[in-house]
Structure 1
Amino acid sequence: METTINKITATNKQVGKQTLAHLNNLTKPPGSLGRLEKLAVQLAEITGDTFPTVSPPASIVFAGDHGIAKEGVSAFPQEVTTQMVANFLAGGAAINVLTKQIDAMLEIVDIGVASDIEGSGFINKKIRYGTANFAKEDAMTRKEAQKAIEVGIDIVKQVIKQGANSIILGEMGIGNTTSSSAIIATLAEVNVEGIVDIGTGITAEQRVLKRKIIAQALEDRKPNREDVLDILSKIGGLEIAGMTGAILGAASERKPVIIDGFICTVSALLATKLVPEARDYLIFSHRSQEQGHTTALKMLQANPLLDLELRLGEGTGAALAFPIVESSLKILKGMATFTSAGIST
């Protein structure tokens, strides 16, 4: 983890200026393609390449269970995590459909599912069988939190070696909106009332219960907002830690990361807490319906590309945003300049 963190540097602003100069010479008024042009510049700065490439993308879904689910904070029972992983492996989930659409590599990672996954086609990096119930005890040990981050780092470096030029992050884990809400309340130092939402579709009564459980757990656990490993070990999730590591790994290799929704944005907060320079390697795909997501985006000064009222996770929003990201580079590389087209400036 330390080696990867030390490898992360600021993005290359000089290359970004060269890309912007080329964009301004294309057959259009300067800046007329708005955020597409800003995306192209950001991608150039990330990669250090005036004409960067983001294809093929690799979609990595980290799966892990949460002991806090035992408190009745989710609309679904814990075994749904295992069942959904089986669905991923069978090709039947939304993320399977969307990764096929964009010709993405897809990796499913068992980093902490509460039962053994049958079959093949996934990466088994199980650190433990789900986290502990952080309403009653710390979610995991500090060592386990660091190991989960390092799993994320290793897997990203592996897919980059296989040819991935960008990373799409996703997750699966019943109870992870509870953990994410607790983390945001800690980092933002705000009351849980404005953070906790319905997750996968809980009732109004369950929402009240969820708020009370998180508030009491934060009082009992007292996570240190300045210490990422302390936060993860006390109230975090293994898949959240894995995505945090994946962000660090991608930034260390100068690859862009397309951030999905609420849970993934929490990992982005933790990664940038560890390494502020990692922020510039992130592209935020969409604004989810979760209340806490808006808070997290504001903390990162992020303006997502889409707002489709999504709240599924899995990396679906990031996969949907990928064609927009790729379009910015097709514009950069494919449009004629005023000179080549013989058009007066």
Structure 2
Amino acid sequence: MNRESLKAYIEQIRPLNREAMMQMEQYLDGLTKPVGALGKLENLMIQLAGAAGTVEVKTQPKVTVIMCSDNGVCDVGVSSCPQEVTATVTYNFTRGITGMNRLSEFAKADIHIVDVGVKADFSHPLIHNRKVCYGTKNMAIEPAMTEQEALQAISVGIEETEKLIEKGYEIFGTGEMGIGNTTTSAAITAALLEEEIIKVTGKGSGALDTVYHNKVEAIKTALKVHQPTIADPIDVLAKVGGLDIAGLVGVYIAAAKHGKVVVIDGFIAAAAALVAYKLAPITKAYMIASHLSKEAGMALILQHIGLEPHFNLDMRLGEGSGCPILFNLLDMAQYTLLGMGTFEDAGVDKSNYMHIWK
């Protein structure tokens, strides 16, 4: 995929179906409850209707796409975790023992594991080998990726999402695994939002003060040396981003193109959502923010895109862990609102209550 083909793909994304959204809103207003009384649950159903183009919305089956890759910036000590943990956790997703596995099982949702750039080789049917390269370069010294590598990783995200859509998946989540990726996410955020590095950089997986200092300095050096073009999200992504982030950019774009909503997990997934939004603002209509990560830049990204998180549980696990929690909320909204009785069902004259239930 090159810039031209990506642009042509993005141009195929259509706005939410307003007629379906109006029909859903009218239906919800006719249920035996005050108008809008179930708040964001109703908004979710209206968004799902707009994405699907029908009031007959489906919330099953669901899947979180987990993009896994390594980051060369780890060479300068930006994480308290050894880089080998990326490969270990990527493999552990296949064993069903991670937090993301358990949350997904509870939510009756699947995970789709993609190796887009781990510094290890896998031979497991549940790990989809789409490796662009064995991790990025050290962005503190040289650009993390070439432009073509960044575009290839975006293409991987698009292609894997389209495969899942062909299998019938209706709802998507975004997950990742890659030691050092809060550093790349903070660099992208600082560049695209033109924010101070310190305002968007957190301690990731419990980094010590010395490690945090290394992280801030690595971002500062990378942005100063490579001078990414702020108006060019692909340039920013290639110079200071990660393969996992690029892969998730493709997930957001492909899902929107095919009329599927995508749930944002935490900071890394939000950084990918920011890149997708900058490339194609229309993708926002298909995004749902799950939780407010404890990472420093998360709130700033959501504010910039114009999204509100649905909960705040002080989470910072990553892996896509916020998605299955939000999936439960979607199921609850659909089960409740499409199962409630209307005023007509209840034998109640709605007009008698409208002066109260507004």
Settle same-fold status: TM greater than 0.5: yes
CA contact (8 A) 2:74 2:180 kept: yes
Instruction: Show the counterpart of 1:259.
Output: 264
Instruction: Show the counterpart of 1:204.
Output: 209
Instruction: Show the counterpart of 2:126.
Output: 121
Number of positions where the alignment pairs a residue of Structure 1 with one of Structure 2: 345
Paired AA for residue 97 in structure 2: G
Instruction: Show the counterpart of 2:179.
Output: 174
Cα distance in structure 2, aligned partners of 1:187 and 1:216: 16
Bigger Cα displacement from structure 2, 205-214 vs 251-260: 205-214
Q: CA deviation at 1:300?
A: 1.1
Cα distance in structure 2, aligned partners of 1:258 and 1:213: 30
Cα distance in structure 2, aligned partners of 1:41 and 1:65: 38
Instruction: Show the counterpart of 1:46.
Output: 51
Q: CA deviation at 1:4?
A: 2.4
Kindly indicate whether residue 347 of structure 2 is the aligned counterpart of residue 342 of structure 1.
yes
- Note the 1:188-337 alignment, pairs <5 A: 188-337=193-342
CA contact (8 A) 1:51 1:332 kept: no
Instruction: Show the counterpart of 2:353.
Output: none
- Which aligned runs of 4 or more in structure 1 are off by greater than 3 angstroms? none
Instruction: Show the counterpart of 1:83.
Output: 88
Calculate the aligned-residue CA RMSD, in Å: 1.0
Instruction: Show the counterpart of 2:355.
Output: none
Paired AA for residue 319 in structure 2: E
CA contact (8 A) 2:70 2:118 kept: yes
CA contact (8 A) 1:151 1:245 kept: yes
Cα distance in structure 2, aligned partners of 1:2 and 1:326: 34
Structure 2 gap segments, 5+ residues each: 1-5, 351-358
Cα distance in structure 2, aligned partners of 1:238 and 1:336: 48
Q: Secondary structure at the match of 2:338?
A: helix
Cα distance in structure 2, aligned partners of 1:275 and 1:85: 30
Paired AA for residue 293 in structure 2: S
Paired AA for residue 70 in structure 1: D
CA contact (8 A) 1:64 1:172 kept: yes
Paired AA for residue 86 in structure 1: Y
Q: Secondary structure at the match of 1:334?
A: coil
Kindly indicate whether residue 98 of structure 2 is the aligned counterpart of residue 96 of structure 1.
no
Cα distance in structure 2, aligned partners of 1:320 and 1:239: 22
Paired AA for residue 340 in structure 2: M
Q: Secondary structure at the match of 2:330?
A: helix
Q: CA deviation at 1:332?
A: 2.7
Q: CA deviation at 1:331?
A: 2.5
Q: CA deviation at 1:120?
A: 3.0
Measured against aligned partners, the alpha-carbon deviations of 1:147-179 in whole angstroms (never above 9, x if no partner) come to 100100011110111110010110000000000
Cα distance in structure 1, aligned partners of 2:84 and 2:220: 26
Structure 1 gap segments, 5+ residues each: none
Cα distance in structure 1, aligned partners of 2:214 and 2:145: 23
Cα distance in structure 2, aligned partners of 1:188 and 1:58: 30
Paired AA for residue 199 in structure 1: G
Q: CA deviation at 1:115?
A: 1.4
Measured against aligned partners, the alpha-carbon deviations of 1:215-246 in whole angstroms (never above 9, x if no partner) come to 12100011111112211110110010000001
CA contact (8 A) 1:51 1:329 kept: no
Cα distance in structure 1, aligned partners of 2:303 and 2:242: 22
Q: CA deviation at 1:194?
A: 0.9
